[in-house]
Structure 1
Amino acid sequence: MRNWDDLRVFLATARAESLTGAGRDLRMDPATVGRRVARLEEGLGATLFAKSPQGYALTEAGQKLMTHAEAAEAALRAGTGEASGAGEGLSGTIRIGAPDGCANYLLPQVCARIAEAHPALDIQILALPRVVNLSRREADLAIAVSRPKTDRLRAEALSEYRLSLAASDDWIARHGAPTSPADLKGARMIGYIPDMIFDAELDYLSALGVAHVPLASNSISVQLNLARAGAGLAVVHDFALPFAPELRRVLPGEVALTRTFWLVSHAGPRDARLDRVARLLRDGMRAELARLEAAVA
């Protein structure tokens, strides 16, 4: 092993899967990144990347080094986190990744309260209609709808949340409310684009026996707004309903889904500052979910 700076270049290249992406992240010329990677490979006597027109993919040796490099990175983060987290106020930048429903209807309120209590802390919310890739350092913390299946990540159950079938008063006035789940098979449904469902936990309509989705989006927020516009029936988060006064729950006694949010972080040595943010996020999410779902109930 040479030094931490070499490992930093290696990690950036592995996560970006290209010299250009690594150079952008490191604010370094791609050619310099390439020379640094080549120097590291020469020093270790191993090929770390398989280079192709598609990019840089880790070899078996690269995968092994990745494990050790991430452990070294986590240890360094833990040390600096303990130093910066010793005082009462949090500072620095924290990026939180989340699916767009959570990012739109829960995190703004939660993060606003955290920011108010810790004005030196910069908070970034990364809203994505897919799984946030912590291994590539897209975020420091992520909220997921299912527990990750890898020992490279740490996961904690945040809270259960509920989903209901809903439609606008306008749509119900024009089409009538369904009287049983069997009526949904012929109704105009709003849901996810079938081949873009990134987690089985989001396949709500299949669980209701609905095969055809005439109005679809990869964004739960777009689905909610389609329902608000009177386009059809949608499965929506109960915590989002207070933001959509046009919507009314349909078949509430017969169609009720429950899912779980997970708080995901990097495995390895603990980072005191990140742990404090995680605790604030966990407590804030649970309180905000309870408040919004109580308003609906």
Structure 2
Amino acid sequence: MHDTDWDRIRIFLEAMRAGSLRGASEKLGVNHATINRAISRLEETYGTRLFDRSAGGLSLTQPGEALVEHAEEMEAQAFQIARKISGLDSHPSGVVRVSISPSLAHRFFAPILAGFSEAFPDIDVRLIATNQRSNLARMEADVSIRVADRVSDDVVGRRAVKFVQAVYAAPEYVQRVGPLTLGDGTGAHWINFRSDPKWIKASPFPNAKPRHLIPEITMQIEAAAEGVGMVLVPTFIGDADPRIVRVPDIPIQPGYSIWLLLHDDLRHSARVRAFVDFTAQYISERKRMFTR
């Protein structure tokens, strides 16, 4: 293969996944003409069409489908090589890319970053705030800070803490529906990620109705602060917002774990190890904040 073939293969894969030249262009950060030219030259190399092009986008031809499996094998090998090389650093310097949900980042990431920057001035942290799980095998991030019950076997996981949750609402909302919520929640409303009958029935207020489903904790709290309804959120997030209060006489609820995740190939990387160890220590020293 020529040296440039891998670049063209990579573009072919992104075009296949995006389903359009425009989508691949946006993903790779190159212009539309570059994508089109790379695919055309790849088709010239193999002497066959890899995509059928239409106004609706790109669709794989039979040769294109045959190429996908081999191209993905090349991609996996390329990522493995990159991870292995990246994990060989012995001095804590360079870049660490950290994937974290916006709600976690908003609540406690800034003080971690401040302390870490002082302790390791040669490491540059690049934050990826997203609710999507970053693919560590594809090097979308070096470290992922996630909330989960358990983690998959293909990553190295370190449980930082298991937190608890509580029911919160605006003080005015509690006063307005207080007599009702002392019972089963009739007349009250949940602000939640989704309408889940099983979750609601097992909650402290099984007759409260789900309302205004909102997919992100920070946005849920904003709605609760305006008196829209009740939220069940981690206490380390809810207690930090003076606009909402815990609903009285309701015990704390079981929560989940905060995990620090990395790929096995990076477990000995000095810069990655420094960030994971520092973050785990920071959370451990403040464990009470997460468990009361």
**Shorter-chain TM-score range:** 0.7 to 0.9
**Other structure's SS at 1:231 match:** coil
Given residue 13 of structure 2, which amino acid in structure 1 is its aligned partner?
A: A
The alignment's TM-score, normalised by the length of structure 2, stands at 0.73
Number of matched residues? 280
The answer for the alignment partner of 2:213 in structure 1 is 216
Distance in 1, matches of 2:264 and 2:128, equals 20
**Other structure's SS at 2:93 match:** coil
- Alignment of structure 1 residues 1-297 onto 2, 5 Å: 1-3=1-3, 6-11=5-10, 14-15=13-14, 17=18, 18-24=20-26, 26-40=28-42, 53-55=56-58, 59=65, 61-82=67-88, 85-87=89-91, 89-92=92-95, 94-132=96-134, 138-146=140-148, 147=150, 153-158=154-159, 159-176=161-178, 183-194=184-195, 205=200, 207-208=202-203, 209=206, 212-250=209-247, 254=251, 256-266=253-263, 272-273=269-270, 275-276=272-273, 279-280=276-277, 282-284=279-281, 286-287=283-284, 290-293=287-290, 297=292
Partner deviation per Cα, 1:40-83 (whole Å, 9 max, x = no partner): 5665789877766345778354244323323322323432442x
Whether the 8 Å CA contact 1:140–1:265 is kept in 2: the answer is yes
Whether the 8 Å CA contact 1:163–1:238 is kept in 2: the answer is yes
Q: What RMSD in Å do the two structures reach over aligned CA positions?
A: 3.9
The alignment's TM-score, normalised by the length of structure 1, stands at 0.72
Larger radius of gyration: 2
Q: Residue 288 and residue 242 in structure 1: after superposition, are their counterparts in 2 closer, same or farther (change >3 A)?
A: farther
**Other structure's SS at 1:123 match:** strand
Pairwise CA distance, 1:189: 2.0
Pairwise CA distance, 1:125: 2.5
Distance in 2, matches of 1:277 and 1:56, equals 45
Distance in 1, matches of 2:274 and 2:42, equals 35
**Other structure's SS at 2:227 match:** coil
Given residue 155 of structure 2, which amino acid in structure 1 is its aligned partner?
A: R
Distance in 2, matches of 1:184 and 1:277, equals 47
Distance in 2, matches of 1:264 and 1:131, equals 11
Identity %: 24
Q: Residue 289 and residue 216 in structure 1: after superposition, are their counterparts in 2 closer, same or farther (change >3 A)?
A: farther
Unmatched 5+ stretches in structure 1? 198-202
Q: Residue 138 and residue 79 in structure 1: after superposition, are their counterparts in 2 closer, same or farther (change >3 A)?
A: closer
